[in-house]
Structure 1
Amino acid sequence: MSIAVSKTDKTKSGIAFLYRALSQAEKQPALAEVYRRLALTEQAHAEV
């Protein structure tokens, strides 16, 4: 695995973490769900 790919994976994992945090803090259920889905998508990208 190249260094660039490794950094990209770490960045995507970090973004997923932020989206999860936003989903937990969000008071509007619909928007919280959007953040949860974004987190899942970014985590899936990081695991590829």
Structure 2
Amino acid sequence: MKRFKTLVVILLVLHAMLSVLQGFDVLSTIDLIITILLAYFVMSYD
């Protein structure tokens, strides 16, 4: 379970970096917020 959690967090971070590199518009900002919330949820979920 811990390995899966680490993998999910890495994927979310990569996804966030990609959306930042694509430039900021409304859609990518919303996407980034959802990604951060997902990462927080995964980190706090045991």
Equivalent position to 2:10, from 14, 38, 41:
14
TM-score normalized with structure 2 length:
0.62
| Gaps in structure 1 of 5+ consecutive residues | none
Q: Considering only CA atoms, is the larger Rg found in Structure 1 or Structure 2?
A: 1
Identity percentage over the alignment?
Answer: 9
| Alignment RMSD (CA, Å) | 1.9
| Gaps in structure 2 of 5+ consecutive residues | none
Equivalent position to 2:19, from 23, 27, 35:
23
Query: How far is the alpha carbon of 1:21 from its aligned partner?
Result: 0.4
Give the Cα separation in 2 of the matches to 1:35 and 1:19: 9
TM-score normalized with structure 1 length:
0.61
Runs of 4+ with >3 A deviation: none
The size of the alignment, in residue pairs, is 44
